[in-house]
Amino acid sequence: MRFYRLGTLPPSLYYDEAFNGLDAWKFAQTPINQWPVFLTGNQGREALFHWLMALLHRANGLSVWTIRAVPALCGALLTPALAWLAWEIAPWLGVKNRRFFALWSGAAVLGLLWSQIFSRYGIRLSLFVLIETLLWAALWRAWTTADGRRQTTDDRPQTAHPPFIPSSLHPFIFWALTGLCAGLSFYTYLPARLLPLILLPLAVAAFWQERERLLAHLPGLAVGLVVAVLVAAPIGLYFLENPVSFVTRVEQVTIIGREERDGAQGLGANLGAVAGMFTGTGDSNPRSNVPGRPALDWLLAPFFGLGLLLAVGRFWRLAQMWLLAGLVVMLLPTLLSEFAPNFQRAIGAIPFVALLVGLGMDGLVRLAARLWSRGRLVYLAAIWLALSGSTGLTWRAYFVEWAGLPDLFPAWDVGFTRVAEQMAAADDGVRTYISPRGREHPTLAYLLEEHPGAPLPQGFDGRICVRVATDVPARYYILVKEDFRAESLLTAIYPNSSVTTPVVETNGSSWARRLEQPAGSAVVFPEMQPQPTPLGDGIDLLGHQLFLPAGMPAGATFYTRLYWQVSAPPSADYTAFAHLLRRNENGDLVWLAGADRPPGEGSCPTSEWLPGEVVIDELQFALPADLPAGDLFVAVGFYTAENQQRLAVPGSADNQVLIGPVETQQ
């Protein structure tokens, strides 16, 4: 379930997965002692998942499978980890049959589409759930162990510890393992920071109910605490030095204080949504779920409900209190954030949901045995049939229903994957561009990194800036639903070009259009007003277009389209300017209005301009309210933002090119 078709389903490499893969690939080529404990990119991420991915990238190289293998392995290991946890907590829950309870709890997670999706998604959630489960299993094992012997509901003797480990060390080993998992959890995912909230009521209850045992375990608790602090110390120190990293993502998604300011869904609405996610309406995000499908199918939901009732009925007991506290605390991230219910943020609740399902199964068997004592085999068969049926439902929900969702195309960046595949397959050396985004997209970058001979495409935002190759053949990918202008502008500039539709969405609409400009074909600028003017640093002004609003009313938008010819790679990232000037009675030029910004709003940085290109950049500004009569000019040029130093314009004392006078109608 976790590894079958792992490289092809999900159908593409989503942004977050590719971002993680690029970081892991970078780490794979970096000495381990230089690996960071926290990654600030992409809204901040804990680094343990990326360390494991980096090791796998070293061994297996770049691939979609390499990105997803770590979460898939964590998802596969979750079943035995849950079985171990259920085995350890069973005596404290008072279950009738410890072995079946452990097996049922471990198998129940296979019936959760929730777990299946995130076990095959190249982000760090699956690792967090595994370490969280191992943490609780180790803690209950340490808590149950006393004087080298373990409590059990069975009359059969139990092996206290491996024969090569002294009995006096046995509890300390599991307390140390608890501390190790607790410390490591802080390197996995944000909800790990809530784990102490589960321990707090547990510690209070243990003090009143198991004081003697608690006092006996104080040395072991100290060992676990010391190990946890030592393991978590590096990331703790990082957060002390960079407190913004600790709260940035939380502040971005929380609803606290946002209901009135941003219209966010309130706590009351979230409470109903989260409570209903198990049997009512689940997550609507197609990356996390079949939209709206509840977290539990109709086979598991009754057992979960019964298990929850049994736990609530004895909530004062240590294990039941832990189950309920764990479920509530791990639902807080989705309860207190936007877009509830959000399965991704509630991922830490999975172990508690699986255990409650197992508890409900055990409770049903016990109840049925009172009604018909000889029907034990029938009850057990029914339980296993329900688990098998639930697993089958999850298999179908994922590999058939979810895999066939049309929404997966935009949700999983399928378009960028197909573009990357086409770029990698084209080995003709044609210069390639993409608009209005894509060059910086991690999906494109990671998939092309697999093919060293396929360089990243050149980028621009065709809605405000276009890069025109004039001396070499060129290939343009235009994302038509976002860039409404580039295709029409480029087909006018390249009259002999051909346009095709290489990427089509699931619904049949065009996602990307591809324009091919053959070598030696004509390049024309039919609307440009020539004004060839040399500047410096490899940049010349070729010409311009001015779009004047009729009557030049106050506040109207004045458009300038500037054609910059590149003869050599510019050495800096310049800011472009276009200023409207008036010549006064003394002959001086007076500033009236203008715009300053990097070319293409940063999508066409001058440091990336290539020789032979003509870069068409558009700047616009609002006309002033008191536009005077007289000769108007537009001054254009560049400067470096760091020191406001303008790029030299030969023959101009102000290092600017004057366009005009501009003819206006008053």
Band (pLDDT 50/70/90 cuts) for residue 662 is confident
**Contacts of 586-590 spanning 24+ positions with Cβ under 8 A:** 589/633, 589/635
Shared domain for 387 and 430, answered yes or no, is: no
Give the CATH number for residue 572: 2.60.40.10
Q: Is residue 21 part of a domain?
A: yes
Cα dihedral sign, 17-23-27-30: positive
Instruction: Quickly count: other Cβ atoms within 10 Å of residue 584's Cβ.
Output: 12
- Comparing 375 with 600, which gets the higher pLDDT? 600
Helix 64-93 vs helix 98-108: crossing angle, to nearest 10: 150
Cα angle value 459/416/29 (rounded, 5°): 80
- Comparing 585 with 236, which gets the higher pLDDT? 236
End-of-domain residue from the set 351, 383, 402: 402
pLDDT tens-digit readout, 542-590: 999 998 887 778 788 899 999 999 999 999 999 999 999 988 877 788 8
End-of-domain residue from the set 402, 435, 466: 402
- Distance linking the first and last C-alpha atoms of the chain: 73
How much helix, strand and coil, in percent to the nearest 5, is found in the chain? Answer: 45, 15, 35
Shared domain for 513 and 603, answered yes or no, is: no
Number of independent structural domains in the chain = 3
Among the residue ranges 110-119, 208-217, 366-375, 391-400, the one predicted with the least confidence is: 366-375
Shared domain for 419 and 397, answered yes or no, is: no
Q: What is the mean pLDDT of residues 120-148?
A: 91
CB neighbour burial string for 213-245, b if at least 16 within 10 angstroms, e if fewer: ebeebeebbebbeebbeebbeebeebbeeeeeb
For residue 159, give every residue at least 6 positions away whose Cβ sits within 8 Å of its Cβ, in sequence order, or none. Answer: none
Instruction: Quickly count: other Cβ atoms within 10 Å of residue 158's Cβ.
Output: 9
Query: Of 317, 320, 295, 319, which Cα lies nearest the Cα of 308?
Result: 320
Q: Is residue 291 part of a domain?
A: yes
Q: Domain limits at 201?
A: 15-402
Residue 314 tokens, joined? 């004895």
518, 474 in Cβ contact below 8 A? Answer: no
Shared domain for 260 and 144, answered yes or no, is: yes
Shared domain for 431 and 504, answered yes or no, is: yes
Give the integer Cα–Cα distance in Å for 216 and 62.
Answer: 51
81, 102 in Cβ contact below 8 A? Answer: no
Res 257: pLDDT: 66
Shared domain for 470 and 571, answered yes or no, is: no
Q: What is the mean pLDDT of residues 161-173?
A: 65
Q: In this model, does residue 151 exceed pLDDT 80?
A: no
Band (pLDDT 50/70/90 cuts) for residue 247 is confident
Helix (H, G, I), strand (E, B) or coil at 500: strand
Q: Is residue 524 part of a domain?
A: no
Instruction: Quickly count: other Cβ atoms within 10 Å of residue 456's Cβ.
Output: 17
Shared domain for 366 and 419, answered yes or no, is: no
Q: In this model, does residue 156 exceed pLDDT 50?
A: no
Q: In this model, does residue 26 exceed pLDDT 60?
A: yes
614, 470 in Cβ contact below 8 A? Answer: yes
Shared domain for 130 and 220, answered yes or no, is: yes
Q: Is residue 371 part of a domain?
A: yes
In the sheet where 510-517 sits, what is the strand order? 458-459, 431-435, 474-479, 510-517, 498-504
Band (pLDDT 50/70/90 cuts) for residue 154 is very low
- The DSSP bridge partners found for residue 614 are 468, 565
Give the integer Cα–Cα distance in Å for 289 and 398.
Answer: 9
Res 256: pLDDT: 78
Q: Is residue 588 part of a domain?
A: yes
Give the integer Cα–Cα distance in Å for 320 and 300.
Answer: 20
Identity of the highest mean pLDDT range in 209-218, 391-400, 649-658? 391-400
CB neighbour burial string for 373-401, b if at least 16 within 10 angstroms, e if fewer: eeeeeebeeebeebbeebbebbbebbeee
Q: Is residue 5 part of a domain?
A: no
Q: Please state the φ and ψ torsions of residue 373, each to the nearest 5 degrees.
A: -65, -25
Q: Is residue 2 part of a domain?
A: no
Res 163: pLDDT: 52
Shared domain for 596 and 510, answered yes or no, is: no
- The DSSP bridge partners found for residue 434 are 459, 477
DSSP state of 317: S
Shared domain for 375 and 439, answered yes or no, is: no
End-of-domain residue from the set 383, 402, 421: 402
Give the integer Cα–Cα distance in Å for 183 and 186.
Answer: 6
Shared domain for 301 and 193, answered yes or no, is: yes
Shared domain for 160 and 218, answered yes or no, is: yes
Band (pLDDT 50/70/90 cuts) for residue 159 is very low
Give the integer Cα–Cα distance in Å for 650 and 256.
Answer: 58
pLDDT tens-digit readout, 387-436: 999 999 999 999 999 999 999 999 999 999 999 999 999 878 899 999 99
Q: Is residue 209 part of a domain?
A: yes
The beta strand positions in 342-438, using DSSP E, are 431-435
pTM (two decimals): 0.89
Q: In this model, does residue 56 exceed pLDDT 50?
A: yes
Q: Omega of the bond prior to 473 within 30 degrees of 0, cis?
A: no
Computed over every residue of the chain, the mean pLDDT equals 91
Q: For strands 458-459 and 657-662, give the pairing.
A: unpaired
pLDDT tens-digit readout, 466-522: 999 999 999 999 999 999 999 999 999 999 999 999 999 999 999 999 999 999 999
